[in-house]
Structure 1
Amino acid sequence: MATLPPRKSQTPTRICISKQHLTPLQTLLQMGFPRHRAEKALASTGNRGVQIASDWLLAHVNDASLDECAPREYIIYACPTGPFLQQLEEFWSKSRQMCGWNGAHNYVPHITLVSFFKAPDECSLQLSKALKQVVDMTGALLDRPLKLEPYMSQNFMGFFVAEEDANYLKRLALQYVKEVSNSIISDTYEQLDAIVACFPWCGAVSSGTRCIPRSSRSISLEPHVKSLHLTLAYQFPQAQFNALKALVETLDAGCASNWELRLYSRDPRLATKQVQKVVYPHNPHETDELELRIGDYIYLNSDVVDSSSDGWAEGISWLTGSTGHLPVNYTERTAESDAWTLHRVVQLSKSVASSLTSAEDLDIVDGRSISTEPEERRRQSTLHPEIIEGSSFEESEQSVEKYLRQTLKPCLELPSVQLLNSHNLSHQHNPHTPTIEITTNMSSCSTSMSKQVVDEILVEPPAAQPPRPDDTLSVHSDHSMHPCSLDASQTKNRKVYIMRHGERVDFTFGTWIPYCFDEFGNYMRKDLNMPKTLPRRKNSPEGWQNDSPLTNVGVFQANLIGQALLEANVQVDHVYCSPSYRCIQTCTSALEGLQQSGQHKIKLEPGLFEWMAWYPSGIPDWLTKSELIEAKYNIDLEYEPVQPSGELTASLKESTEQFYTRNHDVLLQLLERTTGNILVVAHATTLDTCSRQLTGGAPRSTNELRQVIHKIPYCSLATVEQVDGVWKLVEPECLPVTHSKNPRFEWNALATT
């Protein structure tokens, strides 16, 4: 048999083996990406592989700065984990809710070891490896809590690290200087010539031991006398001092035993920007507008946020790097560190209770999984998010969980509460989800109710209590069987119910008009959540652009609120509504649920319309009363509005204060004209503008208004009650309606490979 000659040319096996040894950078270069782009993508994504880097490059295809030589800025934190972190997260949340935003909210809880320094993209992997090498070389890990000493003044609150522990952390920082200097800084990397100035602790060491090459020896180093500290609050109004001081005093630093080193980097453009998180999607209507996706972050100039007259500002998308104009009220402020990239996490403690798993196992890009919100932080610590264009995050389920936990909290104080000790012992690692069993007798209930399971909380219904007039938890409650027995009108206290409209088509589907109307103007729905038909209007379909209808879900939401008000025996005597079609639909559906649609004609009040600064082109082309009557809406044709629509045209440039005053004055006129309870159906802003001054508050600033409307979802209901001549905001008689998102299903996705 002939001898098989060896093959000298490349074979598939050899090619495969050689490809397995390619670095991510080499792979990206083989894919055709330029070196500078490949290095920028790898640095921006924390060197987490080819897939995520290539996704980043595709997402940033329209990024004007993609080819700019702008080194990223790096920083090293010592971050607490475990029980101490949980305390700090609760403090972050409470201080922001009670006292407003201060400088500490811009970052995760931390002790700064190395201030921001710039490094070229090709050095990012070496900077990451150096952090691990430093801890390995040092050897000793913390086996006890860091000694933290509280400090409070009129402009700063925080913990200072005791000298012994501070020296330990400073040695780590200094060793990192040496490691980076020896392995990275060279004459070819002149971009790093400022790196040493960013290591605060180098001043304690003689210049002969720094190992800095000659390209960096000209740097001016000065001793850094600032003590290591963990900031809790700064840049806060002095009026908030006592409230913040009380919160700080609740913190127990004795459990600060778990710590980790983190290497972050940020886009250099972020240094002077304010970071906003997208809370509502937006599809551009103009070429200069920026597309907004849930989960994206936007970089804005802080002065623009406060000074914008129309609510629009120019921003930069973290997800795509694109620049464009956006509605600021579709975003909310978040920590700057949420938009950073986490490169490395190294444990400093022997007793590990890390908030993060190994950095190699996480796709943490620009800080997406490191939120300053406690609930979000606990949720995201189990996720592996990816930087994929168009990705979104479902937050409604977490909101439901948070609401249920608050609802169940009173149950924990019942005498019948029993901890399942045996089960609880097996779950000691998760103190946030205690296992609880509540056993009570519910003999008066007409139907047997099974146990409800929420995470690991097992709950049976509490014992039957005498029914309350506002009890909407069960349709079997006694008062619901006798709707006339507890008429709300018997309380004598006058009430105003202020309701936001339901889910709207344009916010749900984006640009919908070109796809749902043919060339003859005939409407065709493209989704089951779109209305089957639309009423005829003279300016169709253009008229729907600024006067969107409700989705079918929106109609259902409103009906649910009406049903709940019926069960609570709410009495409505007068109904007023914004002339926006979505509000009219909401009002009609709510009255149907309340079973009073035939009893009340809807009075259209243009003065209840939202802020005119959002409508620079003028008021929308609303449906006329005759068009609404033709569409079977029960409109009061004889009603004379407090503020006719013509007067709104003169308010196009109204300030926030003028907007509050307009809505407030309209409501006062309505209260003077009538007696009994009033239902007002309008917009998200209406819940605040029609209640704030009525209850003694002052009009909010533009920025405060934008922040508060983010907390008012579809069909929110606020109740204001007059008690002894004083109007007060009270708990509504019905529960809120909450649901998760449901994105569009594409059937052919099942056929793709």
Structure 2
Amino acid sequence: MWRRIKRIFSRASTGREHWTKERSSRRSISSLKNSTGRSDSGQEVRSFERKSASSKKGSWGLEKKADTSEDRSQRSSIAAVSTCQNNTHTAVTPHLIPIPVVTRSFWCQAVRDPEDLSRLVLVMRAGERIDRVVGKKWIQIQSKGYDKFTPVDGNLPTRVHWHKDAQLEEDSPLTTLGRHSAVLLARALYMREIRPALIVSSPALRAIQTADAIAKFLHTTFAVEEGLCEPGCWYTQCGKFALPRFLKANEMRSCNFSINLNYTPVVPSCLDKVEMERDEEQGYDRIEDLLLDLCARPRAGPLLVVGHAVTVHTAAII
């Protein structure tokens, strides 16, 4: 009996010692986290495993050198980023993070000066499209024919703009996340007191939906420029160059889009010329000429261009 009681007490004391050690280690880790603070992005700065004192390398895995005050200030200004891979957190050392680290958005001087807002040109691409998430066969997967759309994914819209001779495999609409992203961008413009005097969009359905979401949030309208279409050589069907049938102005109005029917495009009815393009250089030259013409037009406020990745790339190299 006494042997059994001694055995129970010995087990309890061993467990108490183990619990005390674990508790002290947790306190040391929490104190280290509190001393390091948090990064600019709001993520908690995680502690790094330091090398043993007998190692020739420093605590960050680098060769030891004289630690000056400049190095200490530079080290403290860089946030340690933690990523989650396979449910395990891995820490990125500061020497892998580029300097300086941009942690907030930057707006040019034209946004701060109201007199220069008429010279401000914003170029963006359309939001997330369905075929990039589900695949090219998203219609067969998410619908029972062209008359009924029954999505099973929460990221897909509950309503799709069907129209006669629609080719939605090549002209895919936005996902729910893509439309919400457009609304968030419109809110960012509103918070910066940027009211675009003109919003122009590519004839692609995803670009039209992006421009429509921004225009409705800002209580304005948008126009369509057919010249902002992607290079015609990208639309291939059985070895032949063919563009999908885009929405017309009256069809956009019937779909409750905030389209401006009184707008005169820079190059009206140019889809036939776009269809004849045989290489990407012709498409780049067309988009560049159109952007320059749009920027040269007089307007009372900023210009917002909703296009594609090729549109943003062309605007960046002009």
Give the TM interval when normalised to the shorter protein: 0.5 to 0.7
TM-score, normalising length: structure 1: 0.28
Partner in structure 2 of residue 128 of structure 1 = none
Partner Cα distance (2:316, 2:151) in 1: 37
Partner in structure 2 of residue 428 of structure 1 = 59
Partner Cα distance (1:424, 1:508) in 2: 42
Partner in structure 1 of residue 315 of structure 2 = 690
Partner in structure 2 of residue 602 of structure 1 = 222
Structure 1 segment 739-750 matched on structure 2, within 5 A: none
Partner Cα distance (1:620, 1:512) in 2: 17
Kept in 2: contact 1:436–1:457 (CA 8 A): no
Partner in structure 1 of residue 142 of structure 2 = 516
Structure 2: state its 5+ residue gaps: 1-38, 42-46, 53-57, 64-71, 83-90, 94-104
Larger helix proportion, structure 1 or 2? 2
How many residues in Structure 1 have an aligned counterpart in Structure 2? 236
Give 1:578 shift. 0.2
Kept in 1: contact 2:143–2:150 (CA 8 A): yes
Aligned: 1:586 with 2:210:
yes
Partner Cα distance (1:611, 1:526) in 2: 33
Give 1:558 shift. 1.8
Partner in structure 2 of residue 527 of structure 1 = 153
Give 1:658 shift. 1.9
Matching residue's letter, 1:681: V
Partner in structure 2 of residue 680 of structure 1 = 305
Partner Cα distance (2:107, 2:138) in 1: 40
Kept in 2: contact 1:558–1:589 (CA 8 A): yes
TM-superposition CA deviations, 1:245-301 (whole Å, max 9, x none):
xxxxxxxxxxxxxxxxxxxxxxxxxxxxxxxxxxxxxxxxxxxxxxxxxxxxxxxxx
- Counterparts in 2 of 1:487 and 1:438: CA distance versus 1, 3 Å: closer
- Counterparts in 2 of 1:431 and 1:626: CA distance versus 1, 3 Å: farther
Partner in structure 1 of residue 231 of structure 2 = 611
Q: Which has the larger radius of gyration?
A: 1
Give 1:610 shift. 0.6
Partner Cα distance (1:669, 1:604) in 2: 15
SS of residue paired to 1:497: strand
Kept in 1: contact 2:195–2:302 (CA 8 A): yes
SS of residue paired to 2:128: coil
SS of residue paired to 2:122: strand
- Counterparts in 2 of 1:658 and 1:430: CA distance versus 1, 3 Å: same
Q: Of the candidates 470, 478, 501, which is equivalent to residue 107 of structure 2?
A: 470
- Counterparts in 2 of 1:489 and 1:618: CA distance versus 1, 3 Å: farther
Partner in structure 1 of residue 130 of structure 2 = 505
Partner Cα distance (1:519, 1:618) in 2: 24
TM-superposition CA deviations, 1:143-163 (whole Å, max 9, x none):
xxxxxxxxxxxxxxxxxxxxx
Structure 1 segment 423-502 matched on structure 2, within 5 A: 428=59, 430-431=61-62, 437=76, 454-455=81-82, 470=107, 488-491=113-116, 494-502=119-127
Give 1:603 shift. 0.7
CA RMSD of aligned residues (A): 3.7
Q: Of the candidates 279, 283, 305, which is equivalent to residue 659 of structure 1?
A: 283
Kept in 2: contact 1:523–1:534 (CA 8 A): yes
Aligned: 1:562 with 2:189:
no
Give 1:588 shift. 2.2
Kept in 1: contact 2:155–2:175 (CA 8 A): yes
Partner Cα distance (2:215, 2:250) in 1: 21
Give 1:492 shift. 5.4
Give 1:636 shift. 0.9
Matching residue's letter, 1:623: L
TM-score, normalising length: structure 2: 0.63
Partner Cα distance (1:520, 1:505) in 2: 16
Matching residue's letter, 2:280: T
Matching residue's letter, 1:454: V
Structure 1 segment 2-81 matched on structure 2, within 5 A: none
Partner Cα distance (1:687, 1:590) in 2: 18
- Counterparts in 2 of 1:633 and 1:567: CA distance versus 1, 3 Å: same
Give 1:493 shift. 6.8
TM-superposition CA deviations, 1:341-374 (whole Å, max 9, x none):
xxxxxxxxxxxxxxxxxxxxxxxxxxxxxxxxxx
- Counterparts in 2 of 1:692 and 1:453: CA distance versus 1, 3 Å: closer
Partner Cα distance (1:520, 1:561) in 2: 32
SS of residue paired to 1:623: coil
Partner Cα distance (2:275, 2:49) in 1: 63
SS of residue paired to 2:309: coil
Give 1:567 shift. 2.8
- Counterparts in 2 of 1:513 and 1:567: CA distance versus 1, 3 Å: same
Kept in 1: contact 2:231–2:282 (CA 8 A): no
Kept in 1: contact 2:126–2:207 (CA 8 A): yes
- Counterparts in 2 of 1:686 and 1:519: CA distance versus 1, 3 Å: closer
- Counterparts in 2 of 1:423 and 1:502: CA distance versus 1, 3 Å: same
Partner Cα distance (1:551, 1:492) in 2: 32
Q: Which has the higher contact order (CA 8 A, sep 6+)?
A: 2
TM-superposition CA deviations, 1:419-453 (whole Å, max 9, x none):
x9x97566736459x996569xxxxxxxxxxxx87
Give 1:649 shift. 4.1
Structure 1 segment 167-246 matched on structure 2, within 5 A: none
Partner Cα distance (1:548, 1:520) in 2: 14
TM-superposition CA deviations, 1:69-109 (whole Å, max 9, x none):
xxxxxxxxxxxxxxxxxxxxxxxxxxxxxxxxxxxxxxxxx
Kept in 1: contact 2:242–2:275 (CA 8 A): no
Larger strand proportion, structure 1 or 2? 1
Partner Cα distance (1:644, 1:513) in 2: 32
- Counterparts in 2 of 1:564 and 1:423: CA distance versus 1, 3 Å: same
Q: Of the candidates 620, 623, 629, which is equivalent to residue 253 of structure 2?
A: 629
Kept in 1: contact 2:194–2:302 (CA 8 A): no
TM-superposition CA deviations, 1:205-251 (whole Å, max 9, x none):
xxxxxxxxxxxxxxxxxxxxxxxxxxxxxxxxxxxxxxxxxxxxxxx
SS of residue paired to 1:525: coil
Give 1:659 shift. 1.5
Kept in 2: contact 1:575–1:680 (CA 8 A): yes
Partner in structure 2 of residue 574 of structure 1 = 198
Give 1:562 shift. 2.1
Partner Cα distance (2:279, 2:151) in 1: 38
- Identity rate, percent: 28
Give 1:524 shift. 1.5
Partner in structure 1 of residue 13 of structure 2 = none
Structure 1 segment 80-119 matched on structure 2, within 5 A: none
TM-superposition CA deviations, 1:672-695 (whole Å, max 9, x none):
3332321000111001223423xx
SS of residue paired to 2:124: strand
Give 1:589 shift. 2.4
Kept in 1: contact 2:127–2:206 (CA 8 A): yes
Partner Cα distance (2:197, 2:164) in 1: 33
Kept in 2: contact 1:602–1:634 (CA 8 A): yes
Aligned: 1:671 with 2:295:
yes
Give 1:457 shift. 8.1
Partner Cα distance (1:621, 1:492) in 2: 36
SS of residue paired to 2:131: helix
- Counterparts in 2 of 1:523 and 1:691: CA distance versus 1, 3 Å: same
